[in-house]
Amino acid sequence: MLGSTTGLPARGKGFAVTTTTAAEPTRRDFLYIATGTVGAVGAAAVAWPLINQMNPDASTIAAGAPIEVDLGPVAEGQVIKVFWRSKPIFIGHRTKKEIDEAQKVDPKTLPDPQPDSARVKQGHDQWLVLIGICTHLGCIPLAHQGDYDGFFCPCHGSQYDSSGRIRRGPAPANLAVPPYEFVSDTKIRIG
């Protein structure tokens, strides 16, 4: 709005003479440009709080702090679900068969090539920790389903293997691995 008004005075009577004879910007032009610029800067500054208020607030960020999960009660073959930052986290205690299957596959043949070793922590092959959100459009896949001893997404039929890698279906990438570390052999900290 301010930008357009700066141009308008030239149309008013009495202004045309000065603006056409002076090749360089006149003092008057400078005033209009300065006013318009300052006004535009102000509008942008006002816009920022209005936009930034939609970002996560301080309490949401604080609630997203790392969580610790005790792996002790998770039996072999079981997949549990915990929540971190409002996202479901799958923690799977893989069986020998599942581990073997995951390691056996040649990563080069996969849609999103990744060896199983890149998806678990070294020395903790039996523990699979995944963000349980299908990389297609965000549904939660079902554990122990599908043709690959892994996960099956009921929404659009994506199938993941026992390492959480995409094998078939519309999903473009493997299930993501959240940041986590082993605090002890039976405890992990996610985040």
Q: What residues numbered 3-32 form the site for other proteins, per CB under 8 A?
A: 5, 8-9, 12-15, 28, 31-32
For residue 135, the SS3 value is coil
Q: Give the nearer residue to other proteins in terms of CB position, either 9 or 88.
A: 9
Give the torsion sign (CA, 151, 156, 157, 158): negative
Each residue 73-92 as x (binds other proteins by CB under 8 A) or -, in order, gives: x-------------------
Q: Is 65 in the site for other proteins (CB under 8 A)?
A: yes
Residues comprising the chain, all counted: 191
Report the residue number, 10 or 155, with the smaller CB distance to other proteins.
10
The verdict on whether 144 is a catalytic residue reads: no
- Whether residue 169 contacts residue 136, with contact meaning beta carbons closer than 8 Å, is answered with yes
Count of residues of this chain found to bind other proteins when the rule CB under 8 A is applied: 33
Residue pair 122/179 in contact by the 8 Å Cβ criterion: no
Q: What does the block give as tokens for 53?
A: 């208020």
Token pair for 31: 């005033």
Task: For residue 126, give the amino acid letter.
Answer: Q
Give least dist CB 128 to other proteins, A. Answer: 21
Do residues 160 and 124 make contact, with C-beta atoms less than 8 angstroms apart?
no
Which of 183, 182, 180 shows the shortest CA–CA distance to 90?
180
Q: Smaller CB distance to other proteins: residue 41 or 183?
A: 41
Judged by beta carbon, residue 18 or residue 117, the one nearer other proteins is: 18
Smallest gap from Cβ 90 to other proteins, in A, equals 17
- Contact criterion met (CB below 8 Å) for 186 and 72: yes
Residue 40 binds to other proteins (criterion: CB under 8 A): no
Catalytic amino acids? 156
Q: Which chain residues interact with other proteins by CB under 8 A? A: 2, 5, 8-9, 12-15, 28, 31-32, 34-35, 38-39, 41-42, 45, 48-50, 52-55, 57-60, 62-63, 65, 73
